[in-house]
């Protein structure tokens, strides 16, 4: 999801930065969650999941606002 959205993002730099940081967070989460699994940690990490949720929500909001602005110029 993040990789496709990064490739087609033409909205703004803030959204692109958030998508890239979420993608990096997801990759690092996959690496470090294996280490946490072997050390029997209870809290693996909520930060990547929160960041991914914020990134998806912000991207969809920006996309919706862009569509809304394009439609309002034609009226």
**pTM value surpassing 0.75:** no
Distance CA 37, CA 50 (A): 20
Around 4, how many Cα atoms within 13 Å sit in the side-chain half-sphere?
2
pLDDT mean across residues, the chain: 74
More confident residue, 24 or 32: 24
């Amino acid at each position: 999801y993040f990789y496709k959205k990064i490739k087609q993002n033409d909205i703004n730099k803030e959204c692109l930065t958030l998508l890239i940081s979420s993608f990096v967070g997801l990759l690092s989460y996959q690496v470090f969650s294996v280490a946490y699994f072997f050390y029997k940690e209870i809290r693996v990490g909520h930060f990547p999941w929160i960041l991914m949720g914020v990134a998806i929500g912000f991207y969809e909001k920006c996309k919706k606002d862009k569509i809304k602005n394009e439609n309002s110029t034609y009226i």
